[in-house]
Amino acid sequence: MLSLLGLPYERVDVDLLKGEQKQPAFRAKNPLGQVPVIEDGDITLADSNAILTYLALRYDASGQWLPREPLAAAEVQRWFSLAVGQLARGPGQLRLAALLNAPVDRAQAERLAADLLSLLEGRLRDHAFLVGDRPTLADLAHYAYTAVAPEGGISLEPYPALRRWHARIEALPGFIPMHRTPAPAGAQPRAS
């Protein structure tokens, strides 16, 4: 979001595999020990959707990223809720489990992933973006989880509209690709 808004920033990597997010210095910024966290002057803010909302309201005078019109703003919020709920527990959980070699109810996570990816596919079949005719925070929130689904073993091949939407997001001026983590040795993407 920072680069899409043309804002200068310093990126600080936190090594999750080494548990840096659980260290006292990081927990002083976010007591939950979770990433991301942003510091903007005297403000320290955690939670990806809270950060996106803050940046849009503070730095996007156009209102593109978080529309000011009530129905459009409510639609962005509805998609936010899906991103942090079911989408995070589907593809997000599978990716995290693969990265950390953690146990996960794979069947349940795959069902959630299939349901949500199918929902997104249906929406994006007839719409360029999730809300309105321009990208919003809803698109960024969902992109963050869906683009890395293959890292959790979820194939995006059955979702051509979703893949075209990824390409539209990635073509935005100022877009910086997400860091990709190779799938663990022997892991095979599975179709949902």
Domains of the chain, earliest start first: 70-178 (1.20.1050.10)
Please report, to the nearest 10 degrees, the dihedral formed by the alpha carbons of residues 53, 59, 63, 66 taken in order. -10
d(CA 30, CA 189) in angstroms, rounded, equals 33
Look up tokens 């249906």; give the residue: 122
Which tens digit of pLDDT belongs to each residue from 65-104? Answer: 999 999 999 999 999 888 776 555 545 555 555 545 556 6
> What tens digit of pLDDT does each residue of 114-128 get?
888 999 999 999 999
Q: How far apart are CA 30 and CA 9, in angstroms?
A: 19
Over residues 5-62, the pLDDT tens digits come to 999 999 999 887 788 989 999 999 999 888 899 999 999 999 888 999 999 999 999 9
Cis, bond preceding 36 (omega within 30 deg of 0)? yes
Name the residue among 85, 90, 92, 144 with its Cα closest to residue 115: 90
